[in-house]
Structure 1
């Protein structure tokens, strides 16, 4: 298992050896199969980098001189499952045991200035394949089955320096694939690495070129960035280089000017702090919906800002405007409908708590808070608490105590009434029977009346609900013949 490379420290040699030993049942079997078929195979990219960083994983990226059709022939009968969704880009996916494996033909790719799809050209050299990769830390490989370590562009040195640097000139690399500019920000978030100044300068000069990349690819990189360990680092890079202005323009627009006459919080900085404080409350790993909501909760402020007498700045209804802006932006980025809906709803609700004051809400108002939040209530709790970024310790403590009180009231009412499952005390069929009406809009109106009654008064029983329904129907001019 020795790794023949003098540049590897003993610890790094051990890390690579452990990786190869762990994946040997899969990697070595594949390596022998490809060698017997007259082809090269190497473990490459993320798995090699992550092994050196002591970041375990079960996904394997392999590269070969075999064309995709030949790859399919070699793995036929060996893999547990095979998929060809990326075959037009030279990639065959497969599963073997617990490992997900992607095998990609040596290649180079570039974008036509007017096309959103990269043109893929196949290569014949591992060195040339590594040269076209995004960063030197992802351009290291271990040959299979011999385990020879390959590092032609100084990836090891960059790992030690925690630096992201392109193997080629950054201008050429980002021209070939503009998404690499976002990948720089994503890896900055995930790995905590700095980006080479030459690459940052190229990102700043070429930021507009990100518009040639499909919304789906941009979305995926943004999601990975947000779910990294330090999303602030990556977001700051997107904003600082101008990339955000082309794919998430609402974010840099939060940097509202502050002058001696119109003082207010830096909304951009506030949003990043809210994001960090929301992350600190996560319990089961990264929550993309919560993180998006924290980042975007105030994007309605620039549009709603107004100046009042005395230099006071207001942002009336920014949560409503922001919810609509969130829906538009996330839809444009091709996020799934459920994520768009959930994040937009959290943005809309994020100020609702501040009407609670020092506990003046009635039980009816608490019920409505829970009802309106629905399944998003746990996330709304986290977002609301994260939205407190005041440096006034007394004010922060008072807000925390008040929200503690609200959560206690929610817990008490939930235990008594199952708030999350509140329904009218008469269902649709019962409404029709009481009023003698057929299915139609009138049933929906009656249902809403009974739901509001339930929220306002709590459980009152079917007999009382029936009496109230009949009274309401008379006021509406309805009778059993309507």
Structure 2
């Protein structure tokens, strides 16, 4: 954490920017209060990048708009009902919200919007003390009525008021506590954790879309493990992502298998490390991270104890893909994300047959074809799935996958494998066999695709000869 003096210096430099000065001056001359609030103030103390600029004021929305219009190159009021007006000033995006003092009904998350009269009223309703600090402008006076600075120093997440009241008002704050713990590397205050356990059932009043968004934000942090563990430990995961606590399989004293829950968290850790090393500077890959976390969720329902005490999980890849699809649909994820995650889970065991014997070029082509645009993600997931402490076994698997990637690269250079197609397209098939569009064309296309995978490029003439031979056998009832 930055020293207080350094944080104040960063905040002062921010306040000295021309758009900030123009905004502060306009509100001050109009007789209104204005303060930078929440994330930017927190991040100044943590020496984190400051991007979103949120302000709070005693001015009502109509008045905010009046004061903002002359300064802004663009403005919007989509949040007017909640007191928020946004705009761009000299290229800087700002959002300004009237002081709030909302009230909540016990059976709904939707607040009765009430505007407050002071910044203290506004700060006490915020989620956590580290987000309940403000910098008055143009005075540059820090407002911290709930000890946010002390909690930053202690690396502690807690609420401005009683956590039971805060979480009762907005149960999603319990999930945000897990996200901030991961995002900031902080611990959640023990009393706050107790309130999370007691109020976990309240999460049921939150929409699936908001839960999805909060889970996504958690998974896109650099270290989501601690947040996921907190969701599991407090019982929240049982309600929003029950497949994860279900991975805590009972260990029979006579049966032997690794801890699937801990293994899954380790795979997630390793997938993030590989993602960041192979694609430095890229945005977090949510699809990959969901797949890493859920890749073994088919194991609880496929667990069998074999003679001798060994434990098997036959077809847990296929079962897991179906379970993941079902859960992600319930959480309202988009179709592309659901399809990609399910496919990665379905394919994540495919590689392990590679170590049993040398794959033919045909098998390598099929691996690439089946992965399609997910190939790079599959590379990362498969490598991350190696969590054995047996160094020799880990090295053997790592070297084997190195070999597979090298063969894929070589074949791609030879054949443009990523765009693998049969030697003849649908139009050529219909012309050669005098067919109209229909199932026979699809069957012929699949036949040529199998040839392409098994034998590589044949060329149009040889492909036509093989196609005519196949069609003759098929027409005679032999295929």
The corresponding residue for 1:161 is 154
2:321 matched residue in structure 1? 323
Match of residue 12 from structure 1: 7
Residue 386 of structure 2 is aligned to residue 388 of structure 1: yes
Please tell me whether residue 456 in structure 1 is matched to residue 433 in structure 2.
no
Of the candidates 337, 340, 348, which is equivalent to residue 339 of structure 1? 337
Q: In structure 1, which of residues 209, 212, 219 is the aligned counterpart of residue 205 of structure 2?
A: 212
Distance in 2 (alpha carbons) for counterparts of 1:316 and 1:95: 56
Q: Which of 293, 303, 306 pairs up with 1:295? A: 293
Distance 2:89 2:62 in 1: 19
CA contact (8 A) 1:256 1:267 kept: yes
Aligned partners of 2:134 and 2:456: how far apart in 1? Answer: 65
Partner SS for 1:295: helix
The alignment partner of 1:390 has SS state of coil
Deviating above 4 A after TM superposition, structure 1's stretches of 4 or more consecutive aligned residues are none
Residue by residue over 1:282-306, the C-alpha shift from the partner in whole angstroms, topping out at 9 and shown as x without a partner, is 2234221111111110011111111
Find out whether 1:52 has 2:50 as its counterpart: no
Segments of structure 2 that go 5 or more residues without pairing to the other structure are: none
The structural deviation recorded for 1:34 is 2.1
- Asked if structure 1 preserves the Cα contact closer than 8 Å seen for 2:265 and 2:293, the reply is yes
Query: Could you tell me which residue of structure 2 aligns to residue 3 of structure 1?
Result: none
Deviation of 1:111 after TM superposition, in Å, equals: 4.3
Deviations 1:85-137 (A, max 9, x none): 33332222323344322212211345434335333222121101000001111
Distance 1:257 1:85 in 2: 50
User: Aligned pair count?
Assistant: 470
Tell me the CA shift for residue 358 of structure 1.
4.5
Give secondary structure in 2 for the equivalent of 1:85: coil
CA distance in 2, matches of 1:337, 1:200: 34
CA RMSD of aligned residues (A): 1.7
Task: Say yes or no: does 1:352 pair with 2:350.
Answer: yes
Aligned mate of 2:248, from 238, 252, 255: 255
Q: Deviations over 1:142-178 (max 9, x none)?
A: 1122211111111011111111111110000001111
C-alpha separation in 2, matches of 1:445 and 1:118: 58
Whole-angstrom CA distance in 2 between matches of 1:254 and 1:323: 15
Q: How far apart, CA to CA, are the structure 2 residues paired with 1:109 and 1:464?
A: 75
Residue from 106, 127, 142 that aligns with 2:120: 127
Structure 1 pair 271/262, CA: closer, same or farther in 2 (3 Å)? same
Q: In the alignment, what sits opposite 1:239?
A: 232
- For each residue in 1:17-51, what CA deviation from the matched residue of structure 2 results, as whole angstroms up to 9, or x when unmatched? 23323xx3222211222223332211000000001
Q: Which of these residues, 162, 166, 183, is aligned with residue 173 of structure 1? A: 166
For residue 476 of structure 1, give the secondary structure of its aligned residue in structure 2: helix
Tell me the distance in 1 between the aligned counterparts of 2:189 and 2:6.
Answer: 25
Paired with 2:137 and 2:396, the residues of 1 have a C-alpha distance of 62
- C-alpha spacing 1:418/1:110, structure 2 compared with 1 (3 Å): farther
Distance 1:67 1:305, change over 3 A: same
Q: Which TM-score applies when normalising by structure 1?
A: 0.94
1:222 positional shift? 1.0
Cα drift, residue 359 of structure 1: 4.4
Closer, same or farther in 2 for the Cα pair 1:450/1:108, shift >3 Å?
farther
Asked if the contact 1:163/1:194 (under 8 Å) is kept, the reply is yes
Instruction: Output the CA distance in 1 between the equivalents of 2:293 and 2:59.
Output: 44
**Of 84, 99, 103, the match for 2:77:** 84
Contact 1:19 1:51 in 2 (8 A): no
Distance in structure 2 (CA, Å) of the matches to 1:424 and 1:85: 51
Task: Report SS of the residue matched to 2:463.
Answer: helix
CA contact (8 A) 2:183 2:218 kept: yes
Q: Give the unaligned 5+ runs of structure 1.
A: 1-7
CA distance in 2, matches of 1:267, 1:86: 44
C-alpha distance in 1 between matches for 2:73 and 2:326: 41
Distance 1:364 1:9 in 2: 63
Distance 1:130 1:454, change over 3 A: same
Change (3 A) 1:295 1:473: same
1:42 maps onto 2:35 in alignment: yes
In the other structure, the counterpart of 1:471 is 469
